[in-house]
Structure 1
Amino acid sequence: MDMNSLDVPEQQASQFELRFQSLFHTGKALAFPCNARGDVQLDALSAKALENYLFARAVVGREYASPEVQACEG
């Protein structure tokens, strides 16, 4: 999964999110806009969102579950 690219239009990409669910706190998760394959456009994230994204990826299996692509509600 290439986390740096988007092969779909930005409008379509915003229909999905890559969600990292907390392993210990029900209802706590980190979610980031992505395309249908789970590719996150890192350059489009704010500095804080990028920090959170990199943290979540680093602690998969210890703090957060493996990420899942989900359709955005709305």
Structure 2
Amino acid sequence: MLAGPNAMHATPDSSDAQPAFELRFPSLRGTGRALSFPCDADGEVQMDRLSARALNNYLLARALTGREYGWPSVHASCQADG
């Protein structure tokens, strides 16, 4: 599993149903601090639905891809029922 216990998960501001996929940026520093964001099956993140903190983290991960974070990949979301 790419996202370890220290992984940061972004959540949209609204209470709409969560997307079934997430875009994960693995850490290249070996600390297990991956970043993941809700997306569609194609890896498209709706930036206008992210909180301010999640948007900053998303833009940071994109800017630091290849230096601090690995290339992102799309994964099925692990959602708990209830």
Q: TM-score, normalised by structure 2?
A: 0.72
Unaligned runs of 5+ in 1: 1-9
> Among residues 41, 51, 54, which one is paired with 2:56 in the alignment?
51
> Among residues 14, 20, 23, which one is paired with 2:25 in the alignment?
20
Q: Over the residues paired in the alignment, what is the CA RMSD in angstroms?
A: 1.5
Q: Hey, which of these two has a bigger chunk of helix by percent?
A: 1
SS at match of 1:70: strand
Misfit runs of 4+, over 4 Å? none
Q: TM-score, normalised by structure 1?
A: 0.79
- Aligned residue-pair number: 64
Unaligned runs of 5+ in 2: 1-15
User: Is 1:61 matched with 2:66?
Assistant: yes
| Higher relative contact order (Cα pairs below 8 Å, separated by 6+ residues) | 1
Instruction: Give aligned-pair identity as a percent.
Output: 58
